[in-house]
Structure formats: C-alpha cells, structure tokens
Amino acid sequence: MNKYLLFFLFSIFLSSLFLSSCSSQKKIIKAPIKEEGADYLFGKLKQNELNFAWFSSKFSANYKNKGESTSLDGQIRIRRDSVIWLSINALLGIEVLRMIITQDSVKFINRINNTYFIGDYDYVNKFLNTNIDFDILQSFMIGNDLSFYEDGKFKASLDGDQYKLSTAERMKLKKFVRNSQEPLKILIQNIWIDPESFKITRADVKEIRKPNLKLEANYTDFEKVGEQLFPKEVNFDIYADNNIHVSVQFNKININTPQLFPFRIPPSYRQVK
C-alpha cells in the first residue's frame, strides 16, 4: 500500500478518535444540565465555594485607566460578611492608602495628601462609576457567589467547555436591606463554572436599571489552600463610560486565622467629602 495512503488513513483514524473523545466529553458535561438542571449546578457551586470565616493575603496588582497603568501591592484582610480591610502600597512598600469597608460604610486614609474619608458606597460608586455593595465586593474578590441576594431563577447552559448560569432577576434578601431608603437592586448576572471543580471561573453582574455599567471578573491559577481551591489570579473589569481594568495576583493566602483591622486617622489629616 502506498505510504501516502497509509498516512492519510492513519490521520483519519486519529481524527475520529479525537472527535469521538470530544463528543463523549461534551455528553458528560451536558448530562447534569439535561438531567438535573440549574438547581443542581447552583448547589454544586455553593458546595465548592471557599468556606472561610477569616481571610488574609498579600497581593500585587496592576491598575489601568484612561491608557495609564499603575503597579501596586498590599494586603487584604476579611472577616466574612462583616469587614474588608485593605492596605495599598506604592513603590518601596510605602503605604499610600488604607481602607476599611463594612456593610454600610466606607472609610479610607490617603497618606499622599494627608486626607481621610468617612461615608457610604455612594462615593465609591460615583468615583468608579459602578453600583457595587459589600456583598458584590466581597464575593468578586474571593471568587464566591453572592451571599446577600436571593438564589434567583437561574437558567443553565453550556458555553464552550464550561457551564453557565444566568439570571435577570436577582434581588437582595430583605434581611440585608439596611434601610427603607435603600433603592431596590435587581441584578442581571452570569456565572461560568468549571465542570470538574465547580469553581467560578468567570462572573459578571449589572443592575437592570443601569445596563451600561457592568462588573466582570475572570479567575485563573487555582491552587489549594488547605483542602480548598482558590484563584490566585483575578482580572477585574469595570465597563462604563470610563473602563477600568485591574489584574490581581494573591500570595501568602491564609484562611480562618483571626485578623486585626487597624485604622487610625491622624489628627492632622483633613476630611474630604
């Protein structure tokens, strides 16, 4: 038999094996959607979230806005559903900003111009042109799903080799609405899930009243922290009139060790509003 014919037949054989493997894999991935539906996938997502009471990590980050790029590093500490503490350094490890965030307040110290701010999320959202709250911020930083919102009516689908959950009507649970003046948020949300680990690999969220403002996060480089998987690299994008991109690399991750949240405003600092 001609050697070229042999090569041709061998190539067809390998291709058929590859296509058969891909087809079988796709059937395996599709099975939970077809047989169990969105509730099953959402349950598996929740089972495989990072389970923590306390979280701390060092990080390095690159911030891009209006064509300019800034490199930063710092520390983050979290007491779940309660406090997020950030210390951000510039060159030579000199702290330039310290921030403490709770469910209803945002405070920061700016050491560059000796000022401080005490207020709520309105300031942050106007500055970043977003519409975030504590739950969205905490969940997107950690790579977990939202905790303070209803499970919503998710629809399940397959997007490439990943599961996708989508909803257009996710509302905040009444017990987490801080006061009657707080505007009701209805979120449009998409979540992409790895079919093996059931970890979130990508998520985006926007409010139904503000469809032109979207927050998106992509999670990669998953490593074990204890017995749990955590994404050591996260890319955040804020899509608005002025797009912002932040890439973050976490290191020295620690969970369930109680943390302190030092925050003292020097008497000489001037308050900004």
136-187 pLDDT tens trace = 999 999 999 999 999 878 999 999 889 999 999 898 887 777 665 566 778 9
Cα-based angle 148, 75, 273 (whole degrees, multiple of 5): 70
Taking a C-beta distance cutoff of 8 angstroms, is the pair 250, 259 a contact? no
Name the pTM for this structure: 0.84
Average pLDDT over residues 202-217: 89
Lowest-confidence segment of 12-21, 79-88, 116-125 by average pLDDT = 12-21
Query: CB count, 10 Å around CB of 187?
Result: 20
Domains located in the chain, CATH noted: 44-262 (2.50.20.10)
Q: Please state, in angstroms and rounded to a whole number, the distance separating the CA atoms of residues 97 and 61.
A: 14
With a pLDDT cut of 70, the percent of the chain lying above it is 83
Q: Is the pLDDT of residue 21 over 90?
A: no
Alpha-helical regions (H) of the chain:
3-35, 38-47, 121-128, 134-142
Both tokens of 152, joined, read 């919503």
Predicted pLDDT at 44: 94
Predicted pLDDT at 233: 98
Taking a C-beta distance cutoff of 8 angstroms, is the pair 201, 224 a contact? no
260: phi then psi, degrees, rounded to nearest 5: -100, 155
Q: Is the pLDDT of residue 25 over 90?
A: no
> 123 or 56: whose pLDDT is higher?
56
Lowest-confidence segment of 22-26, 153-157, 176-180, 250-254 by average pLDDT = 22-26
Q: Please state, in angstroms and rounded to a whole number, the distance separating the CA atoms of residues 121 and 79.
A: 19
**pLDDT tens digits along 93-135:** 899 999 999 998 999 999 999 999 999 888 777 766 677 899 9
Predicted pLDDT at 89: 93
Predicted pLDDT at 23: 42
Predicted pLDDT at 7: 45
Model confidence at 31, pLDDT cuts 50, 70, 90, reads: low
Average pLDDT over residues 14-28: 43
Q: Is the pLDDT of residue 20 over 70?
A: no
pLDDT averaged over every residue in the chain: 85
Q: Is the pLDDT of residue 22 over 50?
A: no
Query: CB count, 10 Å around CB of 91?
Result: 9
